[in-house]
């Protein structure tokens, strides 16, 4: 049996059961999702965070790699009321500390009341509360992780989809989920996944029909290269963004972003479309949001719970973004139509070519 301690920014040190050994630190956040733990754990947007699951049992339907959103687990550590042995094997294989037998209801309540907070974790056969506190003392804020994009982006230009596709999308990988790539490829386009620090000169070589800024971790202010691309290409080609991508687009076009108290993380966030009045349920994972959209972008969708901007648009400039995850892995499928709406800006026939998201064949490495 492993000892485990969780040191919180509010001064508490909580004793738990250790499931996977290690010492680490990060921003403590929670998700309300009751399924999709494989997708959540491999979502690059959780980089430099410690993920708490509010659902009490995690791992009850196993671990399958075809559900992964990236090649590895991204949270620094994982916390649950109880983890199954199978998911603990995964944590051990990837050297990700994990603890359970903790009152996650109280922990989630603390985060909701006090906000996301820094924490330190120590798990092992001989760890002490002081070891967890020492990790906490070295923890920095998410905004101070200025090079976080480097930890989650692709190393080189990789292309997915049909070699003879009429529409080519440049997806700037700030920590993209593979389901975003799948959702575009299924609609018959070629997707060029490019590093987060791609320059306008590099993008010119691709000559895309659409610029797409992906989701990703941390403060959007630290993704200056992606912001520059939006500034350079607005009005030249259509532009879309998801999650961090919405925030980057907003900053590039005169808007502002701000840190949320505890963010939106889960699969049941209600979003209202301001034109139709329709409410859809959405998957979300973000700790920053658009504060003031500026004069160029219009808010077209809002979060029903707190009124934050969930969708931005400028039809004249062919710009459309969403704060939530329309690819919906995990989560409800209410928002799949976003990708059709995006591709309509390019004149592409939006008929989905396949319903399979497991075929991720690479057609070119550049």
Q: Provide the mean pLDDT of the chain.
A: 94
Distance of CA 157 to the CA centre of its chain: 20
Q: What are phi and psi of 250, to 5 degrees?
A: -60, -45
- On whether 285 is known to bind a ligand per the annotation, the reply is yes
User: What's the mean pLDDT in 338-344?
Assistant: 96
Domain at 2-140, CATH class: alpha beta
Portion of the chain with pLDDT greater than 70, in percent = 95
Please name the residue ranges forming H helices in 196-243: 200-206, 224-233
Specify whether the CB–CB gap between 112 and 262 falls below 8 A: yes
Active site residue 168: no
Confidence of residue 25 (pLDDT cuts 50, 70, 90): very high
For the residues 275-295, what does the mean pLDDT come to?
97
Q: What is the pLDDT of residue 333?
A: 81
Interval 155-199: pLDDT, tens: 999 999 987 899 999 999 999 999 999 999 999 999 999 999 999
Residue 15 annotated as catalytic: no
- The CA-based dihedral angle spanning residues 102, 90, 178, 322, taken in that order and rounded to the nearest 10 degrees: 0
- Establish whether 74 is a catalytic residue: no
Catalytic residue among 243, 264, 286, 300: 243
Q: Give residue 351's pLDDT band: very low, low, confident or very high (50, 70, 90).
A: low
Taking the domains of the chain in order of start, what are their residue ranges?
2-140, 148-365
Give, in order, the Cα–Cα distances in Å from 59 to each of 7, 43, 84, 285.
25, 16, 5, 20
Architecture of domain 148-365: 3-Layer(aba) Sandwich (3.40)
Distance of CA 180 to the CA centre of its chain: 11
Question: 155 to each of 172, 193, 305, 342, how far by Cα in Å?
Answer: 12, 10, 38, 26
pLDDT in tens, 39-74: 999 999 999 999 999 999 999 999 999 999 999 999
Residue 287, marked binder: yes
Is 45 assigned to a binding site? yes
Count of alpha carbons within 13 Å of 296, Cβ hemisphere only?
Answer: 16
Contact criterion met (CB below 8 Å) for 162 and 190: yes
Place of tokens 């550590």: 77
Is 247 annotated in a binding site? The answer is yes
- pLDDT tens per residue, range 233-284: 999 999 999 999 999 999 999 999 999 999 999 999 999 999 999 999 999 9
pLDDT reading at 363 higher than 60 = no
The pLDDT of residue 352: 52
């Amino acid at each position: 049996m492993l000892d485990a301690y969780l040191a919180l920014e509010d001064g508490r040190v909580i004793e738990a059961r250790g499931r996977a050994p290690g010492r680490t630190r990060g921003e403590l956040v929670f998700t309300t999702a009751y399924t999709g733990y494989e997708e959540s754990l491999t979502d690059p947007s959780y980089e430099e965070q410690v993920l708490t699951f509010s659902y009490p049992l995690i791992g009850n339907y196993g671990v399958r790699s075809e559900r992964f959103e990236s090649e590895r687990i991204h949270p620094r550590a994982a916390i649950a009321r109880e983890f199954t042995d199978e998911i603990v094997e995964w944590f051990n294989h990837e050297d990700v500390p994990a603890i359970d037998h903790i009152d996650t209801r109280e922990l989630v309540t603390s985060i909701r009341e006090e906000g996301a907070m820094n924490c330190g974790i120590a798990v092992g056969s001989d760890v002490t509360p002081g070891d967890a506190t020492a990790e906490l003392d070295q923890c920095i804020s998410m905004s101070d992780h200025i090079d976080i994009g480097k930890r989650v982006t692709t190393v080189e230009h990789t292309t997915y989809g049909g070699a003879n596709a009429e529409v080519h999308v440049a997806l700037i990988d700030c920590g993209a989920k593979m389901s975003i790539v799948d959702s575009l490829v299924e609609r018959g386009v070629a997707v060029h996944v490019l590093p987060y620090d791609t320059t306008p000169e590099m993008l010119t070589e691709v000559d895309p029909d659409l610029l797409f800024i992906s989701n990703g971790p941390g403060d959007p202010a630290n993704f200056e290269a992606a912001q520059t691309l939006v500034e350079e290409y607005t009005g030249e080609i259509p532009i879309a963004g998801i999650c961090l991508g919405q925030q980057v687009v907003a900053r590039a076009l005169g808007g502002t972003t701000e840190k949320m108290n505890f963010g939106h993380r889960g699969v049941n966030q209600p979003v209202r479309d301001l034109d139709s009045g329709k409410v859809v349920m959405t998957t979300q994972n973000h700790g920053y949001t658009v504060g003031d959209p500026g004069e160029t972008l219009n808010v077209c969708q809002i979060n029903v719970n707190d009124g934050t901007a969930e969708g931005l648009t400028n039809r004249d400039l062919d710009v459309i973004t969403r704060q939530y995850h329309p690819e919906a892995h995990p989560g409800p499928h209410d928002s799949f139509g976003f990708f059709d709406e995006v591709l309509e800006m390019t004149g592409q026939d939006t008929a989905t070519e396949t319903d399979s998201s497991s075929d991720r064949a690479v057609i070119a490495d550049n």
